[in-house]
């Protein structure tokens, strides 16, 4: 699972769309993304085919600037989760895009639960869009998870790739450190001093680790992007999302949980924390 085996970028993007009030924005946004990533776009609707609807979607596609990126529009009957999963796993899709509205609780819940299951079981990366728009909102600031995990290097290199393609200005790599790792409970001046010392030691160690990962990233992806590392002490996943919200990041990149094993179960909880309070667009990177 090392970095060399991971190909950067995406060739085929799949967008699972629904006829929601924001369909127009969603389509505009994904075609634009396909353009930036230089990828082909497949649109998939889970539901019965209907001529009127086909006309509607085609009209929307034609209005977009990058309509040529749309390779095909597919209609499939069935349950959204299984349908999308089966399609993705039996084709060469390498990025699945799902729309998720930040403030529609019910819809978000639905998307959340589908997305949660999908992120665990599809074998490609997943991008959740919370705020698609007709006008391009530049993706200025990307926050990426710098957790000590075997897939982190993939997430970081994908973040740089995306940052490069989307012309982002800044990437912040966040090292989430669990409080339990500190092993010092602050009770008085003395333990506070010890805790502060330990914190700065851990921060230094984590920074070093992350910088090693960054060194392996090609220079051309790194230039023009400001890099920052940030240590955070707190609950994994949750504090990452909170941080992205505080710094008003435009995209949060995290690595996907592995599909099986006990470790993944624990790790999946982190993703769920982020999904429950989806602060920004979220890219879940799966090492292929």
Burial of 203 (0-12, 13-18, 19+ CB in 10 A): middle
Nearer to another protein, 67 or 232 (CB): 232
Judging by DSSP bridges, how do beta strands 251-255 and 226-233 pair with one another? unpaired
| Three-state DSSP class for residue 200 | helix
> Whole-number minimum distance, CB 270 to another protein, in Å?
12
Between 33 and 174, name the residue whose CB sits nearer to another protein: 174
CA 228 to chain centre: 19
CA 269 distance to own-chain centroid? 15
Q: How far is the CB of 234 from another protein (least distance, A)?
A: 6
Q: Residue 232 in contact with residue 239, Cβ under 8 Å?
A: yes
Nearer to another protein, 23 or 232 (CB): 232
Nearest CB to another protein, comparing residues 140 and 230: 230
Query: Per 3-state DSSP, what percentage of the chain is helix, strand, and coil (rounded to 5)?
Result: 45, 20, 30
Residues contributing to the site for another protein (CB under 8 A): 185-189, 191-193, 195-196, 199, 203, 230-235, 238-239, 242-243, 245-246, 277
Identity of the residue, 8 or 277, whose beta carbon is nearer to another protein in the bound complex: 277
Least distance between another protein and beta carbon 53 (Å): 35
CB 225, min distance to another protein, A: 19
Rounded least distance, CB 105 to another protein, Å: 9
Q: Which of residues 178 and 288 has its CB atom nearest to another protein in the complex? A: 178
How far apart (Å, rounded) are the C-alpha atoms in residues 98 and 11? 17
Closest contact distance (angstroms) between CB of 274 and another protein is 12
Separation CA 258–CA 108 (nearest Å): 24
Query: For residue 45, what is the enclosing H or E element?
Result: strand 40-46
């Amino acid at each position: 699972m090392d970095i060399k085996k991971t190909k950067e970028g995406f060739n085929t993007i799949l967008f699972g769309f629904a006829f929601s009030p924001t369909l127009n924005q969603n389509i505009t946004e994904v075609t634009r993304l396909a353009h930036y990533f230089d990828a082909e776009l497949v649109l998939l609707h889970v539901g019965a085919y209907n001529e009127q609807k086909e006309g509607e979607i085609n009209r929307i596609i034609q209005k977009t600037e990058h309509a040529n990126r749309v390779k095909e529009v597919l209609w499939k009957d069935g349950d959204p989760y299984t349908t999308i999963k089966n399609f993705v796993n039996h084709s060469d899709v390498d990025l699945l895009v799902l729309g998720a509205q930040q403030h529609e609780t019910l819809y978000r819940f639905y998307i959340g639960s589908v997305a949660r299951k999908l992120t665990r079981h599809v074998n490609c990366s997943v991008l959740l869009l919370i705020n698609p728009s007709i006008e391009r909102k530049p993706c200025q600031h990307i926050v990426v998870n710098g957790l000590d995990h075997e897939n982190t290097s993939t997430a970081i290199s994908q973040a740089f790739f995306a940052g490069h393609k989307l012309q982002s200005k800044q990437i912040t790599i966040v090292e989430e450190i669990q409080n339990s790792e500190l092993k010092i409970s602050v009770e008085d001046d003395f333990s506070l001093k010890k805790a502060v010392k330990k914190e700065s030691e851990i921060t230094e160690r984590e920074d070093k680790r992350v910088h090693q990962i960054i060194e392996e990233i090609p220079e051309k992806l790194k230039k023009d992007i400001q890099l920052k590392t940030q240590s955070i002490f707190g609950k994994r996943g949750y504090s990452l999302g909170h941080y992205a919200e505080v710094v008003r990041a435009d995209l949060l990149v995290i690595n996907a949980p592995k599909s099986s094993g006990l470790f993944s179960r624990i790790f999946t909880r982190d993703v769920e924390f982020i999904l429950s309070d989806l602060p920004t667009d979220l890219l879940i990177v799966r090492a292929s």
